[in-house]
Amino acid sequence: MNQNKPLRSTVGKKVIMAVSGIFLMLFLIVHLGGNLTMFAGSDLFNSYAHHLEGLGPLLWVAEAGLLAIFLFHVISAFQVVAEKKRARTDRYAVTASKGGPSKVTAASKSMIYTGIILLLFIPAHIWMFKFNGGEPHPVTEVHGTEMKDLYASVAEAFANPVVAFGYAAVMFLLGMHLRHGFWSSLQSLGAMAPKCSPLIYTVGFIFALLLAGGFLVLPLYFYFTQIGGAA
């Protein structure tokens, strides 16, 4: 059966989850790096985005690749959850963790829920910023070059408390996804030696904190610096 299709096995599916998850995390690191240029002012961020768009076909290929990786991750996620549902149809009346080496946490138990929130969030996020909600982008000039003023769009969006705090909340959930996901992806690939497993679990926590924290401060920064209309 799956001897001919090893990627369809439980182990194979987790390899797909892990590899796609790692690529998504790498993408998020680059994405965050770009976002943080906003703290260095609007010009740097706008020209960074401008250069990125200037890559043209190269960018489209990267975007298509990212979409494919994302879809692999999402499809395998729903398969894993379906397998889990099928494997225990009669539920326990009482469940409790035995603690100790157990890594059952709110994060590990809610992977599919934090995942689904991300699945709903990401298209909305792309629509909001990449397509500016369907409106033409505001335009600015940096060192004599005319370009989209994405900084202004971001600042405007996060002046709205619902948007700013909504974003911050989703980024917190992303942090939870990565709190279990970072370590889990390495374990899924068997890239774990007994001695470093506790270390990697801790590194996973710090990674989740830094990455989600980095994304989380931006909307709050823009909201709080613009209270009362000051940009």
Partner 1 sequence: MKFTIKMWRQEGPEIPGSFVEYSIDNVLPEMSFLEMLDNLNEEIIGRGEEPVAFDSDCREGICGMCGLVINGMAHGPKRACTTCELRMREFPDGAVITVEPFRAKGFPVIKDLVVDRGAFDRIIAAGGYVSVNTGSAPDGNAIPISKDIAEKAMDAAACIGCGACVAACPNASASLFTSAKISQLALLPQGHAERKQRALRMVEQMDREVFGNCSNHAECEAACPKSISIDNIARMRREYMKAMR
Mapping DSSP to helix (H, G, I), strand (E, B) and coil, where does residue 96 land? coil
- Cα–Cα distance, 11 to 155 (Å, whole number): 44
| Least distance between ligand HEM and beta carbon 168 (Å) | 16
- Cα–Cα distance, 22 to 29 (Å, whole number): 11
Dihedral angle sign, alpha carbons of residues 193, 199, 201, 204: negative
Q: Which does residue 2 bind out of partner 1, ligand HEM, none, counting CB within 5 to 8 angstroms by kind?
A: partner 1
Of 91-150, which residues contact ligand HEM (CB under 6 A)? 111-112, 115-116, 118-119
Task: Identify the H or E element spanning 62.
Answer: helix 57-87
- Using alpha carbons, list the distances in angstroms from residue 92 to 44, 84, 89: 56, 14, 10
**CB within 8 A of 170, min separation 6: which ones?**
117, 118, 121
Q: Mask: binding to ligand HEM, 61-100, rule CB under 6 A, as x and -?
A: ------------xx--x--x--------------------
- Cα–Cα distance, 126 to 70 (Å, whole number): 14
Nearer to partner 1, 86 or 143 (CB): 86
HSE on the CB side for 101, CA within 13 Å?
A: 3
Q: Which does residue 143 bind out of partner 1, ligand HEM, none, counting CB within 5 to 8 angstroms by kind?
A: none
Stretch that binds ligand HEM, among 19-27, 93-101, 129-137, 159-167 (CB under 6 A): 19-27
List of residues contacting ligand HEM (CB under 6 A): 14, 17-18, 21, 24-25, 28, 73-74, 77, 80, 111-112, 115-116, 118-119, 177, 181-182, 184-185, 188
List of residues contacting partner 1 (CB under 8 A): 1-3, 6-7, 9-15, 79-80, 83-84, 86-104, 108-109, 111, 180, 183-184, 187-194, 197
